[in-house]
Homo-oligomer: A and B are copies of this chain.
């Protein structure tokens, strides 16, 4: 089959579209013909080794910097097993099963749950496309427990925009225990997780504020958030409003002013730091205001099941920027890094 193989840590040149053997399925697995695969920032981070302790800058700056230093700790929780087929989002069709017990899945249109709860070992939950081969290929082998049939009139491209971003957002809102009428400030609100969080917070009936670049404020408003301009100091825009929850995927230099907006007893949740991971935290604010901070990578039980039901019940709507053939990955990632898009970019495996 054809696959986009990330050969090792490094620049775009490490992305090689080439023929590889079809994956062999185990007894507990199914073989999926990939129909569409969304792009996420994490794939770029993993290729760059951004998760390494040696890195203290944002994704964009790291991509632009020429460096040859090896970062063995550049993967999520474990060293990335290069060469790796990345790809966290997968919509596809089950075309073979490892055992007769899985026959009910045959022919189903499915989404893969990338945070593979059933594969958790030693308290570590592996991720599809980060710890094992993912969806940037014509086929992929996945444990049947991580395969979720979806009954919806959405296109494959639309479905493929959901798993990583919406799962991460749903998990963070679950961790934050966001309730009806509570206020939430979402950073990077025009991004994948951010725009998902806006929709998922809306389902919960929250008052939503979203930070984004000024060119995306109109789109964000249509999505249901009060748009805030990330280039204007926050306190000038929200005055004395204090947030029950801050959902932050950005981090970086603006972290302190973000933290200031959290009300006494409020929550800060994070699953990314695209502007830079090292932030300055004032422990006094944390404890005098009884704040809870939660990081979320391994998903809470029920998160993915919730997403499937939101799709099937029409509670969320896909936001697609564009789709591209999978062999145009480098082009796609370059456009992704420019951050001019609003909505997901999705790759289509080249025809068999």
Chain A residues near B (Cβ < 8 Å): 51, 53, 76-77, 123-124, 248, 251, 255, 263-265, 270-273, 277-298
Say whether, besides A77-B288, A264-B123, A290-B297, A279 and B273 are in contact (CB < 8 Å). no
Complex contacts, A295 vs chain B, CB 8 Å: 283, 285-292
Mostly helix, strand, loop or mixed at chain A's interface? mixed
Complex contacts, A265 vs chain B, CB 8 Å: 123, 298
The oligomer's copy count stands at: 2
A290 engages B284 (CB within 8 Å)? no
Say whether, besides A123-B264, A282-B277, A293 and B296 are in contact (CB < 8 Å). no
A277 engages B283 (CB within 8 Å)? yes
A278 to B272 Cα, complex, angstroms: 21
Complex contacts, A280 vs chain B, CB 8 Å: 278-281
Q: How far is the CB of A208 from chain B (nearest CB, A)?
A: 21
Identity of the chain B residue whose Cβ is nearest the Cβ of A265 in the assembled complex: B123
| B77, B248, B287: the one within 8 Å of A264 (CB) | B77
A289 to B73 Cα, complex, angstroms: 14
Complex contacts, A281 vs chain B, CB 8 Å: 278-281
Known: A278-B283, A281-B281. 19 other contacts (CB 8 A): A53-B282, A124-B264, A251-B283, A255-B283, A270-B283, A273-B283, A273-B287, A277-B282, A279-B280, A279-B281, A279-B283, A283-B295, A287-B295, A288-B295, A289-B295, A289-B297, A290-B294, A291-B294, A292-B293
